[in-house]
């Protein structure tokens, strides 16, 4: 079907078919929501959540955006809404961009209901994911037919990567929603350029900039959508004057929403008033030096935060892929492609590959080149930009590409509705049934890896960080220690929540240097986050809640020991009955 027509092929025949379609979408959304709520209540507060939520509360309580400006305010403020209603406290005032203190003060002020506040905030964040699935279903139905809409919704709602990130107070699910909502609005506007549709597109584009800095990529995307849909098409022509007016109005609405999200603070300051830290923006200001007195139509906090994030991304980060560490800030160019190879369920991979093969090899697929370009080009842009960055700490960075990829893959759903049973129908049916297998490790979706990559246990050989271990299992470790009667443990935990606050009696394990001096690992119980087992350098909290640096491979000697238990895929538990003579891993 042409991307220009907007018709459904085939459309449901009658009200009964439409009700059945909505029932299936609603059922998938309910499954997603139910599993998500369970995870939201069970997960420990993960690494970045530790400051994301109090930063959102600071917007409502203090009207401040600078307590942590590394992300725009929309998703944080949205997630913090229940906290406002519940009267949560900010605790002691925090300096600008002191994320550790911000999280510590919030924990101290709300210790008795800390987990409950995060559960409420996570459920709010889950709403973005539910809405994304509905949009995929609706747009897929308009592009490829009713069955395709259901396939797209199933790909999204049954994806463990989506579920694990949707239940965390981070901006990734919100960014993904706008990365499908804005192109959808642009597609409708391009098909029928009315003032109303143009203004809706502009509003969504502006709100998207308040979700995550990644969504700045939507600006070229909506232009691409316009040209793909309209150039050399059979649509009624629109005059240049009318189209220009509508686009100007849309961009004006976008800028209004963008600035309103920051309460218009510091808006329209001249470019010369900024002192940027990142190489990217410093180079830009040098190019624009002749006009540095011209006002920048953006909020100051947005630009300062964007600059700070760019500066951090331009620095060095420990990136892990297939057992190899990259420490010089260049990363791996194939990181995200391999991450999808390891973390997408095999059923998802086969559905996407089948759609790609159909697009490239079939005559019908090639005739739909406009549709394919419309969906794949923005996805490729997200993955390409992320791959060029040296800050490769998790597949969540390309989550905004997922909705359009799943929408593209949904086109093979049309095979299900063919009047004759063919091998293609069976092919799609088997893969759709296999999507549910990606949820079999519930609730440990964050540590999910597919079968060929070794599952949650073998995943550490390929990827780390938020792909596997983000501190989500500390509460489960506490329960394990209690149930097994372990009163004291040597713990190296990758996360920001102080373990002592959960009642865990612990001390840090000895470092590699101490193990060498002692000649082996002393007897006792040990619990070590997988990131540290694999040698990741980071920060760590000691038993007095002080934060210090943990060097690379400081606890890597645990790779030579066999775990007694694995907690949720992210924490290994060891019992050393007698001094171990294993040498620290190099």
Question: Does the pLDDT at position 585 exceed 80?
Answer: no
Question: Does the pLDDT at position 435 exceed 50?
Answer: yes
Q: How many CA atoms lie within 13 A of 75 on its CB side?
A: 33
Q: What are phi and psi of 525, to 5 degrees?
A: -100, 140
Range of the domain at 515: 473-576
Higher pLDDT, 345 or 369: 345
Higher pLDDT, 433 or 570: 570
Domain contains 152: no
Question: Does the pLDDT at position 356 exceed 70?
Answer: yes
- Give me the torsion for CA of 254, 257, 261, 267, rounded to 10°: 70
Q: What is the mean pLDDT of residues 471-483?
A: 97
**Quick one: pLDDT band at residue 420, thresholds 50, 70, 90?**
low
Residues 6+ apart with CB under 8 A from 324: none
What was the pLDDT predicted at 495? 95
Domain contains 526: yes
What was the pLDDT predicted at 11? 46
What was the pLDDT predicted at 421? 64
Q: Which of 98-102, 186-190, 241-245, 427-431 has the lowest mean pLDDT?
A: 427-431
Domain contains 497: yes
Q: Is the Cβ–Cβ distance between 540 and 547 less than 8 Å?
A: yes
Domain contains 499: yes
Q: What is the mean pLDDT of residues 56-64?
A: 95
**Quick one: pLDDT band at residue 311, thresholds 50, 70, 90?**
very high
DSSP string, 152-204: HHHHHHT-HHHHHHHTSSSSHHHHHHHHHHHHHHHHHHHHS--HHHHHHHHHH
Burial bucket for residue 344 (CB in 10 Å: 0-12, 13-18, 19+): buried
Predicted model pTM: 0.93
Higher pLDDT, 361 or 199: 199
Question: Does the pLDDT at position 443 exceed 90?
Answer: yes
Count: domains in the chain? 1
11-39 pLDDT, tens digit per residue, is 445 688 889 999 999 999 999 999 999 99
132-167 pLDDT, tens digit per residue, is 999 999 999 999 999 999 999 999 999 999 999 999
Q: What is the mean pLDDT of residues 272-281?
A: 92
What was the pLDDT predicted at 232? 85
Domain contains 91: no
What was the pLDDT predicted at 584? 52
Higher pLDDT, 31 or 232: 31
Q: What is the mean pLDDT of residues 382-409?
A: 95
What was the pLDDT predicted at 303? 96
Q: What is the mean pLDDT of residues 46-63?
A: 96
Instruction: Tell me the CA distances in angstroms from 497 to 35, 106, 180, 253, 418, one per residue in order.
Output: 24, 11, 34, 41, 54
Domain contains 265: no
Domain contains 124: no
What was the pLDDT predicted at 493? 97
Domain contains 198: no
Question: Does the pLDDT at position 2 exceed 70?
Answer: no
Q: Is the Cβ–Cβ distance between 52 and 71 less than 8 Å?
A: yes
Q: What are phi and psi of 390, to 5 degrees?
A: -85, -5
Helix axes 15-42, 146-157, angle to 10 degrees: 10
Higher pLDDT, 12 or 478: 478
191-228 pLDDT, tens digit per residue, is 999 999 999 999 999 999 999 999 999 999 999 999 99
Q: Is the Cβ–Cβ distance between 213 and 168 less than 8 Å?
A: no
- Tell me the average pLDDT of the chain: 92
């Amino acid at each position: 079907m042409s991307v220009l027509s907007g018709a459904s092929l085939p459309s449901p025949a009658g009200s009964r078919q439409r009700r059945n379609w909505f029932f299936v979408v609603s059922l998938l959304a309910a499954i997603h929501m139910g599993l998500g709520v369970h995870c939201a209540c069970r997960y420990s507060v993960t690494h970045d959540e530790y400051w994301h939520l109090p930063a959102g509360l600071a917007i409502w309580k203090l009207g401040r955006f600078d307590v942590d400006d590394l992300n725009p305010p929309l998703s944080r403020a949205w997630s913090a809404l229940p906290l406002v209603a519940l009267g949560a406290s900010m605790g002691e005032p925090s300096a600008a961009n002191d994320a550790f203190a911000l999280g510590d003060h919030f924990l101290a002020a709300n210790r008795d209901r800390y987990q409950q506040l995060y559960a409420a905030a996570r459920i709010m964040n889950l709403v973005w994911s539910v809405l994304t699935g509905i949009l995929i279903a609706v747009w897929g139905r308009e592009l490829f037919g009713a069955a395709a809409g259901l396939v797209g919704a199933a790909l999204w709602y049954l994806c463990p990567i989506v579920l694990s990130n949707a239940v965390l107070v981070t901006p990734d699910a919100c960014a993904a929603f706008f990365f499908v909502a804005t192109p959808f609005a642009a597609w409708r506007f391009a098909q029928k350029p009315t003032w109303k549709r143009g203004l809706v597109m502009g509003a969504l584009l502006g709100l998207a900039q308040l979700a995550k800095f990644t969504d700045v990529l939507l600006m070229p995307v909506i232009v691409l959508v316009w040209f793909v849909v309209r150039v050399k098409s059979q649509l009624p022509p629109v005059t240049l004057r009318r189209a220009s007016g509508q686009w100007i109005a849309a961009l004006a609405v976008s800028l209004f929403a963008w600035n309103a999200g920051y309460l218009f603070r510091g808006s329209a300051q001249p470019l010369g008033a900024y002192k940027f830290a990142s190489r990217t923006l410093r180079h830009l200001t040098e190019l624009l030096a002749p006009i540095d007195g011209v006002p920048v139509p953006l909020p100051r906090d947005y630009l300062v935060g964007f600059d700070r994030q760019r500066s951090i991304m331009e620095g060095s980060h420990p990136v892990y892929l297939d057992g190899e560490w990259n420490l010089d800030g260049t990363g791996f160019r194939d990181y995200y492609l391999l991450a999808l190879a390891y973390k997408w369920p095999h059923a998802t991979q086969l559905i996407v590959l089948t759609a790609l093969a159909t697009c490239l090899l079939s005559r019908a697929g090639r005739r739909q080149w406009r549709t394919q370009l419309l969906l794949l080009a923005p996805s490729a842009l997200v993955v390409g930009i992320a791959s060029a960055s040296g800050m490769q700490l998790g597949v969540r960075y390309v989550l905004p590409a997922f909705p359009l990829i799943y929408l593209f893959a949904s086109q093979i759903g049309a095979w299900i509705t063919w009047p004759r049973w063919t091998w293609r129908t069976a092919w799609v049916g088997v893969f759709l049934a296999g999507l549910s297998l990606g949820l079999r490790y519930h609730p440990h979706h964050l540590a999910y890896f597919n079968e060929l990559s070794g599952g949650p246990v073998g995943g550490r050989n390929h990827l780390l960080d938020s792909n596997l271990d983000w501190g989500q299992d500390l509460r489960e470790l506490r329960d394990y220690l209690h149930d097994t009667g372990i009163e004291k443990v040597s713990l190296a935990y990758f996360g920001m929540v102080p373990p002592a606050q959960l009642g865990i009696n612990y001390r840090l394990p000895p470092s590699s240097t101490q193990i060498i001096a002692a000649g082996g690992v002393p007897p006792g119980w040990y619990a070590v986050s997988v990131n540290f087992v694999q040698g990741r350098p980071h920060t760590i909290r000691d038993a007095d809640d002080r934060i210090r640096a943990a060097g690379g491979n400081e606890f890597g000697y645990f790779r030579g020991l066999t775990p007694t238990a694995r907690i949720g895929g992210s924490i290994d538990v060891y019992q050393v009955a007698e001094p171990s003579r294993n040498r620290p891993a190099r």
